[in-house]
Structures are given as C-alpha cells and as structure tokens.
Structure 1
C-alpha cells in the first residue's frame, strides 16, 4: 500500500510541475496519464469521475485526482495525489508572495505563451479520444453538441450542472435501445457509512464555522471560515473561485487589490490547480497568521471541502452507477461531459492561447505528436516551451 502511495505522489508531482492551462487542461493531462498510458481507468470510468466532480462544488480537476488516488491507495492515496499535484504551484505562489516579484517579469515571455498553446493540444487530444469512445452514435453526438452550445452561450457553473442533468435525462430517453450498457466498477475503499460521515462533517463545518467565526475573536477561525466557504460553494473550478476570494479578502483589507491582482496573474501563469492561489493569499495577508503558516491554513481550508465531498459522494455514486436506468443516464451524462469540455476548449483554452498562425501551427504539431506519435504530454510541454523561447 505504501508503495502505491509513493507512486501516486511522484506521478502527481510530475503532473503538478507540467500541467499548464487550467482545470480543463488538467483533465486532459489526467486522461493521457491514467487512461491512455497507465490504464488505471477506462474511458467510461474516467468520464464518470469527471461527471461526478462537475456535479460537486470545488476544484473539479483536483477532485478527479483525489478520486484516482483514492481508488488506487485509499485515503492516503487521495492525500498523496493532492499534495503532489498542489505542492509545486503552492510553493511558487508563496515564494512570490514573500517577495520574489522578479518572477512576474517573465509572465509574458514566449516560452510561457507556448505552454498555453501546448495546453490547447493536450485538451484537444483528450476531447478527441473521449469523443471517439463516449459519442459513437448520432444521439450522443447530439447530446454533446447541445451541451457545448448551452454552456458556451450561458457560461456558469450552474449551467454545467444543468447540462449534465439534461444529458442524463436524454440518456434515459434516447439510449434505451442499446443492447449493451458499459459500466466498469471502480473499487473504492469507502463504505456508505464512511461516506455519510464525511458528508455530515462537510455540512457541520459549513454551518458551524460561520457561527463560530461570529462569536470568536480569533482571526484564524475567521480566516478558516472564509476559505472553507469559498471551497464549498463555488461551482466551475478555479476560474470561478478567484473572484469569490477577491470579495472575501479585498473589502476587508486583508489583501490590497493590487497585490490580489498580481497574485491572480501569477496563478494563471504556473502549472497546477488555480485553488493553490489560496496559499498566496494566506502568505501575503497583512494580519497574522501570514507567511508560510497563513499559506498552509488557507490552502487546507480551501481544499478540505473537496476532500470531504469526494470521500462522501464516492460510495453512494458507485452504488448508483450499478443501476440499469442510471447506466443509461450515465451514457448521456458522459456525452454531456464531452460537450462541456468542448465548450471549455473554445473558451478559455483556445481563446487565451491561439492568436495567430504560429500559435495554431504549434498547437497542431503538438496534437499530432500526442495523438498519432503517442508522445508523452510532458515531452510535448517541454518541446513547446523550447519552441516558444526560440521563436515566439
């Protein structure tokens, strides 16, 4: 078991160092690593996990990583996956907060822009691979396209949840004529009783922390409450939580708006989860605890809901997936997930990276390397960075 835990840590540490491009790109990197390369999950099981984490509030890509670690090595595996994936970006952001501001001078260099272009190739390859397996007929292609249109026209976390729900309904209505309904069991080492405990703890903290913060004079409790609520109530991942955090820390004077925006830019420029931005805010805060202690407190508070929700939902999700009607729904849900990823591929992944023929050419070259030459994603990322440094 410990061997699996260390293996998970090192794999996710490498992903945390190379996974540029934001939450949707992270799902592409995970797909390449755990579905195509290591085959820890098949396409349907992976899509089911993505669908579940899209339903849950919090950082969806990090929650998918936690679930993969949980399946492989239990709760310790989930923790190892989170630490490995989050540690690089958290350390970079804390160091930036503590005064290494010269890093910001490289935020607009060619190599960094090329990393964004590489993320386009990674996401495109992931969507291509998932669509072949999850949208093999006109019904599921239509579900995916409709979901992509809805989320593109009305971009919000709630619309993502609505698209997934509608995909499930469409699956039960239009996919009942399928003779085989694929469903790969995932061996998750948690019982329903354990799941109920974690869900109960999630709601106890969500309700109890604000009450405790109102009556307590301890700044640590107020800080923990703010960041726990931010991690509990946001749908749509890191891009959505950043404005929410701004409302929590800037009006209260905890962090100036200029410092907030500087950290915001840095968080967009580095690999790993955007939720690691909470470590920056904890470190830069002008009221103790700050520095490394504040970073650790805010980072833990923001990610704790993700752990509790994944641990709480997984046991019930597994039982639900076994039911025949739910398996028809999952076919539609997985097609809707492909559509949601397609919408996110256009914005923000494509729109933030592809601005001219050079960008398009590099993205296309990376896509060919990933899809047809089976080149590892980390190698494509490093090659793109080299090309960007030389020619962009």
Structure 2
C-alpha cells in the first residue's frame, strides 16, 4: 500500500532546516527532536507509526536519524520531500565542518595547537561514552558480550575493512545460531510512496555500487574517494559513532588524512548540530590528494549517505513482513553486538593511542567522559571545555 503525499517539499525543507540548526546531541537525541517537531507539533504521523519507522532505520546500515528524516520527508511530500529533508537536515553542519576544514590548517601558535589537541582528547571521551551506552543496550547478556569481545579479537589480527566485515558477518551468523529474536508483533504501519519495482531498483543500485566501485577505484582518485566513503556508509550498523573506525580505515590508513587531523575533526563534529555523518564533509575537504576542498567534501558527503538511503528504499515496501521474523531479529542482534566490539577496538586505536600522550591528557579525557555520562552535559559544551582544557595544557 502506498501513501499519497499530503504536503510540499518546501514545507518539509522548512521543518528539517529548523531541526538541522537545533538538533544537538547525536542520533538518539535527534530522534527525540524529530518526534517533538514532526509527531507532536506538526502531527504528520502517529506515535506508533513513528516508532515503527525508527525501528526500521535502526535495523539497517546507515545513519539512523538521517534515514528517519529521509523517510519522513518522503511520507509527507514524496521523493522531492525526501531530498528536501536530507538537504535541510544535513547542510548546516556540513557547511560548518567544511569551514573548519578549510581554516584549521592555518591555526598556529600554542593557543590554536592546544585547542586542536583538546578536540582530539574530547574524541576519547565521546567514543568511550558511545561504547559504554551501546554496550549496555546491545550487549545485555553474556552471549552478546562474548560476540563483542570476539569482534575485538578479530580486528586485533585482521585490521581494516576486511576485519570489520568479517566481524559483522560473524555477529550476524552467531545471532542466528543463538536465535534470540522473538518475532513479536510491532505496533504501527509505515505507508510510503515506494513501489516494489522501485525498491528492487534501489537494491540493485546499492549492490552494483558496492561491488563496482572497488573495480573503478584504481582508475583515479575520484573513484577511490567514492569507493572509500560509499563502503564506509554501507557498513555502519548501530549508530553514527560507528562510522569513526570505518572512515579511519579508509582515509588514515591510506595516508589521505593524518591521525591528528582525523581526531580533531571528529571532536569538532560533536559540537555542531545535525548528523554525525557530516564528518565526511570535513574529511573530504582536507584530503591530501585531489579531489579535496568543496568538491571533495560534496563527493564524500553524498557517497557516505547514499548506501543507507538506497537500502532504506529497498526495504520500505517489505518492512511489515520482515520485522516480525525471528531470524531477522536474531541476526540483527548479533550484528549489533559485533558493532560494539568494532567501536571498542576503535576506542583503543586510533582514538586513545593518537590522542593521549601523557597523564594530563588522560585526566582531561576522563573529566570530559564524567561530564558526559554522569553529569549529562551537552556534547557541544563538553567539546568547548575540552578545547579550553587543551589550550590550558599547552600553556603550562
């Protein structure tokens, strides 16, 4: 069943531009902002339908909050509405991070260098908080905790994209064996203007790009950029923070971006509203080889978001049948547990090993972590404190 849109792309753009300018705090917080604005205030859909949409977007790879926004725009104003929601929600943070990328290299002196170092230290606290929260939610029993530990061990012996893909596959297969899915009914029903033919086209496009871009990557740096960011976006299960180890594998290990640049940009990303995936705009802008700058930022941004949107479109018409299958639930639970391990491995390297050089750095990182977890301080405020702390340490 499809839904005839009831709004306009302009209306959708206005709603999501407001969200793009004010949605601080990461993917979970974004979903709360969406509910307040779209469900409670604008009444575009019911709470049950919204909950079902969130469940679908968390079930699949890609940035959960951006996929929810994309789907909400589509449900309200068709394909142009989906595009309007994506652009409006993404553009503010992408422009801020692009500006940061283009000016960070000119920062010099103890104050500038200290602030950049403080951003690297903040990244330790941010990732540690993400690991802590995801472990509590996605590894609540000894079986799934064990899957996470096995994922860390796999990456210790097989680092890089191959190790991550293997860890996720291991988690999904182990989840199937454990058969923890309940197959319980879920309230709500997603009505979207997507036909099964369109869904099939989206799935084919996703697969062709995933398999075809690596074959083209050797032809030029342009194809290599698209391949790297598209692959990272294809493997992000469990939330926006998981894009960190995937992108680090693609751009730092290849020598395109230095570890210091990478962590400073990741820290800065926590201080801006909107999706964490806009970190790709920063990376695309500072890449050593061409394309970089505005062109590199645009290509990286589109490539990292595209796979999640294609998979969302591919599954939308079939979600009502898929969501109640115990096998699908079990595989996803196992894959999510492996993702916790992947992010935990990233917490050690590159985050911890590249950001903390002495006990003073560790103390600042620990203070930021406690502020986030125990005091529940806003991430942008913790980033500001971390940058000021970095300056203070540089002047000692």
Structure 1 segment 229-268 matched on structure 2, within 5 A: 229-232=227-230, 237-242=246-251, 266=261
Structure 1 segment 10-159 matched on structure 2, within 5 A: 11-12=19-20, 30-31=26-27, 33-34=29-30, 52-53=60-61, 63-64=63-64, 66-74=66-74, 75=82, 76-93=84-101, 95-96=102-103, 102-103=106-107, 109-159=113-163
Q: Distance in 1 between matches of 2:53 and 2:156?
A: 26
Alignment match, 2:392: 390
Change (3 A) 1:66 1:39: closer
Deviation at 1:347, TM superposition (A): 1.0
Alignment match, 1:309: 307
Deviation at 1:141, TM superposition (A): 0.9
Deviation at 1:143, TM superposition (A): 0.9
What RMSD over aligned residues (CA atoms) do the two structures have, in Å? 4.3
Change (3 A) 1:299 1:39: same
Any conservation in 2 of the 1:112–1:385 contact (CA below 8 Å)?
yes
3-state DSSP of counterpart to 1:136: coil
Any conservation in 1 of the 2:121–2:361 contact (CA below 8 Å)?
yes
Question: Normalised by the size of structure 2, how large is the TM-score?
Answer: 0.67
**Alignment deviations for residues 187-239 of structure 1 (CA, whole Å, 9 cap, x no partner):** 5856343333344456777869x99xx9xxxxxxx786564445445676332
Alignment match, 1:376: 378
The answer as to 2:179 corresponding to 1:170 is no
Structure 2: runs of 5 or more not aligned: 1-6, 37-46, 75-81, 236-244, 270-278
**Alignment deviations for residues 128-157 of structure 1 (CA, whole Å, 9 cap, x no partner):** 112112111111111111112212332111
Structure 1: runs of 5 or more not aligned: 19-28, 54-59, 215-221, 247-259
Partner residue of 1:269 out of 256, 261, 264: 264
Q: Distance in 1 between matches of 2:333 and 2:188?
A: 15
3-state DSSP of counterpart to 2:125: helix
